[in-house]
Structure 1
Amino acid sequence: MGIRTLIKEEKAGFPEPVYFIHSKDRYLLRDAELRVRKTISTSPDSLSIEIFDADLPGSQQIDPASIANSLMTPGFFGEKKAVLIRNAHKINAKTMKKILPKLIPPPPDVLIVILSEKAPPQDIKKESRIKVLHLELKGNALIEWTIKRAEQKGIRINREVAEILAGMTSENIGQIERELEKLTLLGKEEITPHDLSGVISGGIETSIFALTTRLTSKDQEGVFRLFHSMRDTLEPIPALGAINWKYGQLASKGGKPEYYRKVFKEIHEADLLLKSSGGEYPLEDLLVRLLQI
C-alpha cells in the first residue's frame, strides 16, 4: 500500500533525490508532506523548504525556470534543501516535460518531492532516479490503520467500531481522522459502538452500521433488537446502502461466491421494492432473508 515504504523512507531521512508520491486521498498526501517537512526542519516556517503549487492561479502557477533557480539555492544553516511540488496532477504534459530535465539529477543536499492525486506519467515511470510511492488505505488495511490511529490519540476501539467509521465515511481517511478526534472528547479510554451515536456526523447512521455488523455475524436477536429500537428514526435507503457496503467489504476478501451472489440479489430486489413502495417493510423482510441465507 506504500504507507510502510513511506515510513521506511522517512526513518532513513528520505535518502532518494526525487520522490513522486501519489494518492487519491488528500489526507495521505498532506501526511506525506508533513513527514518530509519534519525530516528537513523542526521549524514549520523553515526557509530550507520551498513549495510550488500547481493549484495556484495565473502567474503564481508553476514555472520551470523558478524551480531551476530554487534548486540552486542551498538550505539555510546547513539544513538539507527540500523542494515540494503540490498538485502535480494539474500540471499539463507540455510543462511537465520542461520541468523534468531541471529536476534530474538535483544538486547534492536537495530533496525533491512531487505530490499528485494521479499516477505518474510515463516519463516519470521510466525514470529510474525517481522513486514512486503510491499511498492507499482500503479495506482491511484501513481498518487496521483506524485502530492504530485511535491508539495514538489515547483511545481504544475494536474492529466493529473501526468498520462503522470506515463505512459511514465511505473510507474517507480525513473524515475518519476528524471523527476520532471527536471521540477523544468523550473522556473514555475505550469506545464502543454505542458511544458513536450522537458523536459521529450523521447520528442515526451509526446505529445502521451497528445493525449491519450484527447482520453479517448472523446475530439474529441483536439484529431485531437494534432494528426495532431505531424504527421511528430509520431511513430505509441509507440503511440499505450500509448493508450493501458491508457485504461488499466481505465479498472483496474472496470465497463463497454463490453465497454473495444470493446476498446481492436479495439486496437488489429490496432496493427495487423500497423505491417503488417506500416504508420499512421491504427492509425488515430483507433482514429476515439475509439471516436465512
Structure 2
Amino acid sequence: MIRDKSAKKSAKDTLKKDATKKAASSKAVKVVVSKDEDSGKAKKGIIAIAPPSFRRERALIKRGVWPVAGCDEAGRGPLAGPVVAAAVILDPDRIPRGIDDSKRLTAEEREKLFDKICATAQVSVVVASRSRIDRDNILRASLWALKRAVVALPEQPRHVFVDGRDRLDTPCDCEAVVGGDGIVLSIAAASIVAKVTRDRLMCALAQDCPGYGFEQHKGYAVPEHLDALDRLGPSIHHRSFFAPVAAARAKHMPWTVEPVRDLFEVTEVEVQVEAQIEIDASTGL
C-alpha cells in the first residue's frame, strides 16, 4: 500500500498556518518573522507581546460615540495604603507615544508618560482610603473608586472601558475588558496615572511611618515588608483584614482581636416548660 506523504505534509502545513494566523490575530500577541541575512530564508517566528492600541476607541468614534474613557486602578494587592483609581479620555490627535500597561514600564518611563498624559488628556483620580477598604472590602472599594473617577471627569463620557471582569454602574455604557491595560490604550493610560499617583502617595506614607519601607515596595507583601510587619506590628495605614496584617495584630496587639466562638461548644440551656391540661367534662375526670 502506497501512502500519499504529500497530502499528510500539506495537512501539517495547513495546521501550522492556522495556528500562526490565530496567534497573529490575537489582541495580546503578534508574530514577528525575521530573515537570515546570509541565506535569505525566514527564521522561526517569535511570539511577542503587542502594545495596547486605540482601535476600540476609534471604532466608537466612527460610530459617532464620543467621548470614550478608559479607567483602571492600582493597589488592590498591597497590605497597606489606599487603592487609587484613574479615568482618562485621550485626545485622538495628541496621543503620547509609548503608552503601555504600567506593569511593563519602568518607574522613569511611567513618570514621563504621566506628565504627557495629564498635559494632553482629560484625567481624574479618586482614592479609596484604607478605612474604606476595611469597611467595604477591597473589591467594593475599588469599584467605588473607579465609578467615582469616571463621574469626576471634566467631560462625561458616552462609553467607558474598564480593566477587569466587573462592569461599573455608570450613566454611560461600560465595557469590561479582561487584561484591558495591555489591550485598550485608554485603559493603559489610566493604569499609568493610577500607578504613579499611588506610588507617590506611598512615598509620602513612608515619611509618616518609617521603618516599613513603603517607599521601596509600595505596601506589597514582599519579604522585607513581611519582616517589618512581624517586627513592628501593623501601622494605621495597614489593611486590617488582610491575613499577614491580622496575624501581626494578633501578635503585637492581642487585646484588639476578638475571640472566635467555638461553634461545636456544648452549652447547658435551662428550659422552663409550662404544661396546660384540658379536661373533658364528659369523661368524668
TM-score by length of 2: 0.26
Greater RCO (CA < 8 Å, at least 6 residues apart): 2
Name the larger-Rg structure: 2
Give me the TM-score of the superposition, normalised by structure 1: 0.26
